[in-house]
Amino acid sequence: MMGRTHALTGWCAGLAVAPFAGVTTLAQALVFAATTAGFALLPDLDHPGARASKLLGPLTGGLSWLLRKASAWLYAVTKGPRDERGKGTHRHLSHTLLFAVALGFATSAGTEAGGPWAVAGVVLFGLLLAEDALGDWLLPVSGGAVVWWVYENNPNALAELDAVTGLLGVAVALGCFTHCLGDALTESGCPFLFPLPIAGETWYELRPPSWLRFRTGKGFENGFVFPAFAVLAVLLIPGVWTAMVGFVQDILGGTAVEADS
* Percent residues over pLDDT 70 in the chain: 85
Average predicted confidence (pLDDT) for the chain: 85
All residues at 6 or more sequence positions from 216 whose CB lies less than 8 Å from its CB, including other chains: 1, 2, 186, 187, 188
What is the distance between the alpha carbons of residues 256 and 259, in angstroms, rounded to a whole number? 5
Helices (H), the chain: 3-17, 26-39, 51-54, 58-78, 97-114, 116-134, 138-153, 157-162, 165-184, 219-220, 226-235, 240-260
What is the distance between the alpha carbons of residues 31 and 123, in angstroms, rounded to a whole number? 7
- C-alpha closest to that of 44 among 35, 55, 33: 55
Residue type, 234: V
- C-alpha closest to that of 89 among 198, 187, 177, 203: 203
Where does the pLDDT of residue 47 fall: very low under 50, low under 70, confident under 90, or very high at 90 and above?
very high
User: Is-contact 11 42, C-beta < 8 A?
Assistant: no
**pLDDT given at position 158:** 56
Residue 153: CB atoms within 10 Å: 17
pLDDT in tens, 92-131: 999 999 999 999 999 999 988 887 778 888 988 998 898 8
User: Is-contact 195 93, C-beta < 8 A?
Assistant: no
Compute the C-alpha angle 39/83/89, nearest 5°.
Answer: 35
pLDDT in tens, 13-22: 999 999 998 8
Residue 136 has pLDDT above 80, yes or no: no
State the average pLDDT over residues 72-97: 93
Helix (H, G, I), strand (E, B) or coil at 214: strand
**pLDDT given at position 147:** 65
**pLDDT given at position 255:** 57
Partnered with residue 190 across adjacent β-strands are 206
**pLDDT given at position 164:** 61
Residue 207 has pLDDT above 60, yes or no: yes
Residue 135 has pLDDT above 80, yes or no: no
pTM of the model: 0.86
Residue 161 has pLDDT above 70, yes or no: no
**pLDDT given at position 249:** 73
The answer to whether the bond into 116 is cis (omega within 30° of 0) is no
Q: Which is more confidently placed, 89 or 118?
A: 89
User: Is-contact 105 27, C-beta < 8 A?
Assistant: no
Q: Which is more confidently placed, 80 or 42?
A: 42
Partnered with residue 206 across adjacent β-strands are 190
**pLDDT given at position 223:** 87
Residue 132 has pLDDT above 60, yes or no: yes
User: Is-contact 200 82, C-beta < 8 A?
Assistant: yes
**Sign of torsion, CA 54 55 58 62?**
negative
27-36, 183-192, 243-252: least confidently modelled range: 243-252
User: Is-contact 200 80, C-beta < 8 A?
Assistant: yes
- C-alpha closest to that of 40 among 71, 67, 13: 13
